[in-house]
Amino acid sequence: MTGVTEEPVASRFVGGAEPVVPRRLRRTRGWRRRPGAVRDREQMSRRAKLGTYLVLAPVAILFVAPFVWMISASFQPMSTIFANPPTWVPDDPTIDGYKGFLNVGTLTESQESQGHGDWRWFANSAFVAITITVLQTFFNALCAYTFAKRKFPGRNVIFVLFLATMMVPGQITLIPNYIIVQHIPFFGGNDWMGMGGHGWLNSYWGLIMPGIVSAFGIFLLRQYMMSIPDALLDAARIDGASEFRIFWNVVLPLCLPALAANAIFTFQGAWEDFLWPLLITSGDPDKTTAPVGLALFVVQNKTDWNLLFAGSVIATLPMILVFLVFQRHFVRGIAVTGIKE
Amino acid sequence: MSTASAPRNVAAPDHERRPARPRESRGRRLGRRIWRERSAYLFLAPGMILFSVFTLAALIFAFYLTFHRWSIIEPDKPYVGTQNYEDMVHDERFVQAVLNTLYFTGASVPLTMLIGLGLALLLNQPLRGRALFRTAYYLPVVTPFVVSALLWKWLYNGDFGLFNYYLVKGHIIDQPLLWLSDKDLAMPAVVLMTVWSGVGFSMVIYLAGLQSIPHELYESAKLDGAGTFQRVRFVTIPLLRPTTLFLLVMGIIGSLQVFTQIFVMTSGGPVNRTTTMVYYMYLWAFKYYDMGYASTLAFALFAMLLVFTAFQLRLFRDGATS
């Protein structure tokens, strides 16, 4: 019952206002909209509805079908995956694919001989993605707060420097970063000049460190923190709170929506990041993340597609879970990004 | 300046102010301010250190690389002046990569945005099952990109891919197509997969934009006798301008940097028809080990991005007020 125009409450019960009738009853009683009367927001003509569904439903099926196939194929043996016509519902589902990809239980002979996946890939992915998310959210918030609420010499210069690099695509820094990571001093057999070893290549350090700071995230959080009233922070200062205490107990709780959005996007990005882990972990399959493992699995083996589909399902699950749990934050996160002026 | 017991950073009320000190030198004053705000620098330190190493230093280093022949495996890394830039201009494969990238962008970005807009308009009505549809369209977005690419590689497979099976069965094509190994079909195939995984995102953004359009505008348009089509044409689309700009800029920036789909699905083939700029850069850096030339290619990409973005911002500035 959404009246289009604002009217005094009383008039709804006086003549002129239509009583609320359940939608099911409307048709049977022959209630029709008077021609020319303004349609209220809740109504659509039946023809429009039908047309809409006729477009939406087939498209939805096209979008979901590949997924259904992927999940179905992950429970099939190799023989039926290649069958013609394609099997959408496996006759006797098997979890061999999952076993083979996670490398648990007894593997079939062909898997033993031509390669199998590794549960470590998913553990690596989870560890790296969670670490990056936690650290990035924390350090981004620290920087954003300082830029938004502190006045100190050099603030604007540093901030402009940050903003300027937001335009730089990641591909430019990819190659130098590879060389920098290779020559981090004291790590991976390097001397103090960063020579002689492999530095952070093939290590978690190399996977995590470059992903911790994001100019974009800092910018978003700063925009959000600008709206916190200064009086609140001053009150905390008068009460004798330290700067960190103010940040931790006053500012962060107020920024939860923005922080959540930042964390979700960071986690997604880190989980499906491909090019950087591909370069960094090329020398050590034990440090590889799930996407890289999956992609190289196709290249290296005469592909066991049932294993591959199983691995794909496992790699997709966390993303879908995060999405379903944080669905509201997604939309809000997009709103936080401030598309609307 | 306040006494030691008073809180920092809070201006003391007038009656508590001490008589002013004799003026001190500017340097001293600056030093004192820096000291007083030392915690701010401490807060910035971790982020700044990482930022300086992995962004600032990396940028400068990338620029330095473009003037050298720098190989990981060779010990001497000679200065070669602008040789890399000259090589790039005369490199036919590079020109091909640029054209491929533009083709990919020109095909995938508009398609993704149009389909996203269409779905958003349809979903912005009082329907049952809206959330269900939204989730269905958004699923490909949350799927890791590598997984989507692998899945589609399978769907496109010439012998037992699902596409060929259903297209042949539906008599749309006579014989199976070799999607990813046909030089004219490979790029459209990659574009199709990219559109599939991007539509959900642009739909959600457009939906957010649609929700923010005040309903009264539609009412008044209706009173003025505008039909459904006219309402979309004269109310919705102009008001979605900022949203469109955002999607366009993000979409173009993203698709100029396309890599993962190419790596997984086609490896740049057949005959370089799907070699994009980033993939070409990757080849030079990690297959031929020429970091200098690869960096030069990266800067070419950067220049392209800048030109595109500046152009779009200019294009949309006139009348972008809502």
pLDDT tens digit string along A266-286? 999 999 999 999 999 987 888
Average pLDDT over residues A186-195: 80
CA distances from residue A184 to A178, A204, B12, B198 in whole angstroms, order as listed: 10, 13, 48, 37
Q: How many CB atoms lie within 10 A of CB A236?
A: 19
Are the Cβ atoms of A274 and B146 closer than 8 angstroms? yes
Q: Which residues of chain B make contact with A187, given a CB cutoff of 8 A?
A: none
Using DSSP's 3-state secondary structure scheme, residue A43 falls into: coil
More confident residue, A16 or B12: B12
CA distances from residue B243 to A336, B116, B321 in whole angstroms, order as listed: 14, 12, 12
What tokens were used for B211? Answer: 């929700």
Average pLDDT over residues B187-194: 96
Distance CA A48, CA A43 (A): 10
Per-residue confidence band for B53, with pLDDT thresholds at 50, 70 and 90: very high
Buried b (16+ CB within 10 A) or exposed e, A195-212: eebbbbbbbebbbbbbbb
Bond before A85 cis per omega within 30 degrees? yes
State how far residue A291 is from chain B, nearest Cα, in angstroms: 6
A329: region left, alpha or beta (phi > 0 left; psi from -120 to 50 alpha): alpha
Average pLDDT over residues B260-289: 92
Sorted by sequence, the CB contacts under 8 Å of residue B319 that are 6+ apart come out as B241
Closest residue of chain B to A341, computed from CA coordinates: B242
Residue B237 near residue B113, CB atoms below 8 Å: no
Residue owning tokens 């330095």: B64
Instruction: Give residue B310's pLDDT.
Output: 86
Closest residue of chain B to A146, computed from CA coordinates: B40
In the predicted structure, residue B121 carries a pLDDT above the cut 80: yes
State how far residue B160 is from chain A, nearest Cα, in angstroms: 6
Q: Which of B84, B154, B286 to mutate to test the interface with A (most CBs of A within 10 A)?
A: B154
Mean pLDDT of chain A: 81
Closest residue of chain A to B126, computed from CA coordinates: A42
Tell me the backbone φ, ψ of residue B68, rounded to 5 degrees.
-130, 155
Average pLDDT over residues A298-322: 84
Instruction: Give residue A164's pLDDT.
Output: 84
Instruction: Give residue B143's pLDDT.
Output: 93
Instruction: Give residue A101's pLDDT.
Output: 84
Residue A193 near residue A218, CB atoms below 8 Å: no
Are the Cβ atoms of B144 and A315 closer than 8 angstroms? yes
CA-CA-CA-CA dihedral for B211, B214, B216, B222, to nearest 10: -60
What is the percentage of chain B residues whose pLDDT exceeds 90?
52
Residue owning tokens 């389909």: B115
pLDDT in tens, B63-84: 999 999 988 788 888 999 899 9
Sorted by sequence, the CB contacts under 8 Å of residue B127 that are 6+ apart come out as A44, A49, A52, A53, A56, B133
Per-residue confidence band for A4, with pLDDT thresholds at 50, 70 and 90: very low
- In what helix (H) or strand (E) does residue A265 lie, and over which residues does it extend? helix A256-272
Distance CA A109, CA A100 (A): 11
Using DSSP's 3-state secondary structure scheme, residue B68 falls into: strand
Distance CA B299, CA A173 (A): 10
pLDDT in tens, A208-243: 999 998 888 898 899 889 989 999 999 999 999 999
Distance CA A338, CA A8 (A): 36
What tokens were used for B317? Answer: 């500035």
The CA-CA-CA angle for residues B110, A335, A317, to 5°, reads 75
Q: Output DSSP code: residue B79.
A: B
Distance CA A311, CA A73 (A): 11
Average pLDDT over residues B161-181: 87
Are the Cβ atoms of A218 and B47 closer than 8 angstroms? yes
Distance CA B182, CA B13 (A): 78
Instruction: Give residue A330's pLDDT.
Output: 66
In the predicted structure, residue B61 carries a pLDDT above the cut 60: yes
Average pLDDT over residues B175-179: 86
Query: B242, exposed or middle or buried, with CB in 10 Å at 0-12, 13-18, 19+?
Result: middle
Instruction: Give residue A28's pLDDT.
Output: 47
More confident residue, A10 or B251: B251
In the predicted structure, residue B320 carries a pLDDT above the cut 70: no
Question: Is A158 within 8 Å of chain B by CB?
Answer: yes
> What pTM was estimated for this model as a whole?
0.84
A-B interface: how many C-beta pairs under 8 angstroms?
A: 258
Per-residue confidence band for B8, with pLDDT thresholds at 50, 70 and 90: low
Residue A107 near residue A184, CB atoms below 8 Å: no
Are the Cβ atoms of A213 and B30 closer than 8 angstroms? no
In the predicted structure, residue B5 carries a pLDDT above the cut 90: no
Using DSSP's 3-state secondary structure scheme, residue B16 falls into: helix
Mean pLDDT of chain B: 88
What tokens were used for B94? Answer: 């590079």
pLDDT in tens, A122-177: 999 999 999 999 999 999 999 999 999 999 999 999 999 888 887 788 888 999 99
Least confident of A83-97, B238-252, B256-270: A83-97
Of B47, B204, B260, the CB nearest to A274: B260
Least confident of A188-197, B129-138, B200-209: A188-197
Rounded to a whole number of angstroms, the distance between the first and last alpha carbons of chain B is: 47
Q: Which residues of chain B make contact with A143, given a CB cutoff of 8 A?
A: 43-44, 47-48
Interface of A with B in 53-72 (CB under 8 A): 53, 55-56, 59-60, 63-64, 66-67, 69-70
Instruction: Give residue A114's pLDDT.
Output: 64
Task: Give the sign of the dihedral formed by CA A174, CA A180, CA A186, CA A190.
Answer: positive
Least confident of A77-81, A158-162, A248-252, A336-340: A336-340
Q: Which residues of chain A make contact with B196, given a CB cutoff of 8 A?
A: 63, 66
Distance CA A297, CA B143 (A): 18
More confident residue, A340 or A303: A303
State how far residue A169 is from chain B, nearest Cα, in angstroms: 7
In the predicted structure, residue A10 carries a pLDDT above the cut 60: no
Tell me the backbone φ, ψ of residue B79, rounded to 5 degrees.
-80, 130
Are the Cβ atoms of B59 and A152 closer than 8 angstroms? no
Which of B226, B102, B206, B296 is CA-nearest to residue A334? B206
Are the Cβ atoms of A298 and B286 closer than 8 angstroms? no
State how far residue A215 is from chain B, nearest Cα, in angstroms: 8
Residue A118 near residue A98, CB atoms below 8 Å: no
Question: Is A136 within 8 Å of chain B by CB?
Answer: no
Q: Which residues of chain B make contact with A290, given a CB cutoff of 8 A?
A: 144
